[in-house]
A and B are shown apart, each in its own frame.
Chain A
Amino acid sequence: MSDKHLTADELDFYIEKELDDRARAGIERHLSDCAPCRGRLARDQRMNRALQTLPRQDPPRDLAARIGSAVEGARGRAAEGVCRDRARPGARR
Chain B
Amino acid sequence: MPPMAPTDEALLIQYKAGDGRAFRTLVERYTAPIYNLAFRFLRDSMEAENVTQETFLRVVSALERMRLDVPFKPYLFQVAVNLCRDLARKEHPVLFSDLNSAVRRADGAEMDEASEAIEDGAAPLWEQVQEEELGSQLSAAIDTLPLIYQAVITLRYVEEFSYEEIAQTLGLPLNTVRTHLRRAKNRLRLKLEQEPNPVPSQGFVRIQTAERGAR
Q: Which residues of A are interface residues toward B (Cβ below 8 A)?
A: 5, 7-9, 12, 16, 18, 36-37, 39-40, 43-44, 46-48, 50-60, 63-64, 66-68, 70-72, 74-75, 78
Contacts and interface: CB of A to CB of B under 8 A. Distances in A.
Interface residues of B, number: 48
B23 A71 contact: yes
B211 interface: no
Q: Which secondary structure characterizes the binding site on chain B?
A: helix
Nearest to B23: A71
A5 to B, nearest CB: 5
B77 interface: no
Closest 10 CB pairs of A and B: A59-B35, A51-B157, A64-B31, A57-B39, A68-B24, A8-B114, A64-B28, A68-B27, A67-B53, A50-B134
A43 B189 CA distance: 9
A67 B49 CA distance: 9
A5 B28 contact: no
B60 A54 contact: no
